[in-house]
């Protein structure tokens, strides 16, 4: 029996990664770095979940001789860079740079009207979630969600299942009672490792990812109402494949 929907944020609730990419590049320029992440490079770097981890990986690529990977100086620099990036991202989102993807709001409303719980399971920062949902769901957006798992509560980033395991615990539900919504390979690995059936809605950044194990891959959530999702979910529990 489906009891909850668990949503990833970036790429799933909204197609945000182009705005993240611009914010990274703005922070690099403001901090005097000659780094520039173009679309092709960023598509690669998105294989690393978490902005901090992504920048550390890129730094390591550029400084292979670097010994003190975890040195305080490097960590301090990365934290300062990430703070500037998050500020730039929030400014862009507050300015209307992204909207919820098709079908997201309708599905959330349907689920709440039928007594399902909603949760968020993301690797992005809490401030980024608030900027997006304050704008698109209103200041009381948190009332819609039983639980929110993000970079501040689940430091082990996707494909690690930590954030999904936290949400199951917070909702006091079993994986079989939930349905996850993701956009990427790492996200699918995380939700599947936690035992959740998962619907994928890729973006242009993740269209080429391996979605083996997904319950369905849809262009967006405008292509499935709650009844159809309940049927697919029940089929998956009964071992009926698409
Ligand atoms: C996608 C991510 C995040 C964003 C950047 O998160 O991996 O790192 O790319 O946001 P999701 P931060 O799990 O929602 O798809 O810079 O805050 O990490
Ligand atoms: Mg995502």
Which pLDDT does position 67 carry in this prediction? 60
Which pLDDT does position 31 carry in this prediction? 94
Could you list the active site residues?
A: 8, 10
Tokens of 28: 């690099």
Which pLDDT does position 72 carry in this prediction? 82
Which pLDDT does position 35 carry in this prediction? 94
Counted residue by residue, the chain has a size of 242
CA separation for the pair 104, 127 (Å, rounded)? 20
CB-facing half-sphere around the CA of 153: CA atoms within 13 A: 17
How much distance in Å is there from the Cα of 21 to the middle of ligand 1? 11
Ligand nearest to the CA of 122: 1
Tokens of 183: 């956009």
Which pLDDT does position 240 carry in this prediction? 80
191 lines ligand 1 (CB under 6 A): no
Atom of ligand 1 nearest to the CA of 182: 15
**Sequence-ordered list of residues with C-beta below 8 angstroms from that of 121, at least 6 positions apart, any chain:** 6, 7, 8, 149, 154, 163, 164, 166, 167, 180, 190, 191
Which pLDDT does position 242 carry in this prediction? 75
CB-facing half-sphere around the CA of 176: CA atoms within 13 A: 7
Average model confidence (pLDDT) for the chain?
95
pTM, whole model, 2 decimals? 0.96
Which pLDDT does position 68 carry in this prediction? 60
Q: Which residues of the chain have pLDDT under 70?
A: 64-70
Q: What share of the chain is helix, strand, coil (3-state, %, to 5)?
A: 50, 10, 40
93 lines ligand 1 (CB under 6 A): no
């Amino acid at each position: 029996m489906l009891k909850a929907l668990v949503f990833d944020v970036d790429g799933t609730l909204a197609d945000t990664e182009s705005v993240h990419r611009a914010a990274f590049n703005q922070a690099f320029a403001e901090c005097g770095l000659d780094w520039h992440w173009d679309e092709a490079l960023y598509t690669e770097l998105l294989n690393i979940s978490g902005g901090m981890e992504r920048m550390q990986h890129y730094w390591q690529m550029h400084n292979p001789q670097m010994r003190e990977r975890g040195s305080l100086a490097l960590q301090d620099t990365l934290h300062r860079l990430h703070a500037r990036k998050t500020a730039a991202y929030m400014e862009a989102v507050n300015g209307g740079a992204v909207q919820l993807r098709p079908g997201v709001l309708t599905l959330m409303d349907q689920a709440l009207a039928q007594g399902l719980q909603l949760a968020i399971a993301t690797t992005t920062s809490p401030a980024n979630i608030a900027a997006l949902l304050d704008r698109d769901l209103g200041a009381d957006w948190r009332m819609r969600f039983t639980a929110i798992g993000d970079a501040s509560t689940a430091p082990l980033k996707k494909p690690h299942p930590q954030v999904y395991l936290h949400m199951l615990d917070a909702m006091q539900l079993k994986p079989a009672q939930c349905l996850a919504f993701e956009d990427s390979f790492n996200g699918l690995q995380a939700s599947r490792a936690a035992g959740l059936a998962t619907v994928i809605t890729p973006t242009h950044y993740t269209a080429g990812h391996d979605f083996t194990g997904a319950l369905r891959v849809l262009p967006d959530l405008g292509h499935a109402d709650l009844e159809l999702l309940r049927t697919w979910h029940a089929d998956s529990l009964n071992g009926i494949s698409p």
